[in-house]
Amino acid sequence: MATTWLRRGALFLGALLFLFPFYYMVIGSLQKDPDTSLAGAFPTGGFTFANYSAIDARIDLLGSLVNSGIFTGGVLLGTVVFGVLAGYALARLHFRGQGTLFAVMLLVQIVPFQLLIIPIYVMIVRYYGLADSYLGMIVPFAINSTAVFIFRQFFLQLPEELFSAARLDGASELRILWSVALPLAKPALLTAALLTFIGPWNEFLWPFLVTKDADMQPLAVSLANYMNTMAARAANPFGAILAGAVVLAAPAVALFVAFQRHFTASDLGSGVKG
């Protein structure tokens, strides 16, 4: 019993340490007067939404959220569609060079996006003429090698008997993917979607390069511009910066809380007799 309580206490302490930065961010964004010390986490004064009102007065929060939704939604769609197709091909199809292709895909993951941003910018903006467009922001992120890896590893865990039985019934590979593999892949889909969501939602450099039109810039770009140019002139610069961080982080936290219970392993062998 004592060991159980000690384990629970350690887990509770770890949870508090993990949540404290988020708590401090929210509390700091609601303070009337800036307090950057540790005591600021336990304010004695009142709270205000003035920091959020200051952001909304400077940037179009609703329009920026819509732009972020379009940008992130397009990236998610491309990541899931191409990731599922590529992951299934690498896991269940057999063709010459399959191992080499997978090794190259793994090597791609170690190349930072920042190293490729100049050639990608030249290709997207100058060659394809996609400047000042949502498509120009989405295309470089539409295929995610991490998502491909997640789907490949998941499809490799599925029992071969499921695929053999479907092929004996005359099902095509696309039919097998749609009717056999995908219904079992909910944990992999949610994992890939959440990991992909965080990247484009917080991305501010690439959308800023593609378009300078404020009406098309996602929330991360608008908030970055606000924090760099206007937050210092706010009545409470510390609170204004934290308020911007809360606005940017809230959708990602809400998404994780809403779907975290679905991050469980499926019964992969449920369709196999015996």
- In a domain, residue 41? The reply is no
Question: Which of 183-192, 213-222, 229-238, 259-268 has the least mean pLDDT?
Answer: 259-268
- % of the chain with per-residue pLDDT over 70: 90
- In a domain, residue 243? The reply is yes
- In a domain, residue 200? The reply is yes
pLDDT at res. 186: 84
- In a domain, residue 33? The reply is no
- Domain range spanning residue 208? 64-88+105-264
Number of C-beta neighbours around residue 56 at 10 A: 13
- In a domain, residue 53? The reply is no
pLDDT in tens, 50-84: 888 878 778 888 888 899 999 999 999 999 999 99
Q: Coil, helix or strand for 52?
A: helix
Higher pLDDT, 272 or 152: 152
Give every CB contact of residue 259 below 8 A, 6+ residues apart in sequence.
190, 194
pLDDT at res. 71: 93
pLDDT in tens, 36-52: 677 667 777 678 888 88
- H helices of the chain, in order, are 2-30, 50-58, 61-92, 98-108, 113-121, 134-138, 145-157, 160-168, 173-176, 186-202, 205-210, 219-229, 237-259
pTM for the complete prediction? Answer: 0.81
- In a domain, residue 250? The reply is yes
pLDDT in tens, 4-31: 888 888 888 888 888 888 888 888 888 8
pLDDT in tens, 101-131: 888 888 888 888 888 888 999 999 888 888 8
CATH for 237? 1.10.3720.10
- Cα separation, 57 vs 51, in Å, equals 10
Asked whether the predicted pLDDT for residue 223 surpasses 80, the reply is yes
The residues that bridge with 31 in the sheet, in sequence order, are 47
Question: Per the structure, how many domains does the chain have?
Answer: 1
Cα R_g (the chain), whole angstroms = 23
- In a domain, residue 29? The reply is no
- Cα separation, 201 vs 205, in Å, equals 12
Q: Coil, helix or strand for 170?
A: coil
pLDDT classification of 213: cutoffs 50, 70, 90:
confident
| Across 189-201, average pLDDT | 86
pLDDT at res. 267: 47
Residue 238's nearest CA partner among 20, 18, 17, 32 is 32
Per the listing, tokens 């779907």 go with 259
What average pLDDT does the structure give for the chain?
A: 83
- In a domain, residue 151? The reply is yes
Asked whether the predicted pLDDT for residue 269 surpasses 70, the reply is no
Q: Coil, helix or strand for 31?
A: strand
pLDDT at res. 79: 92
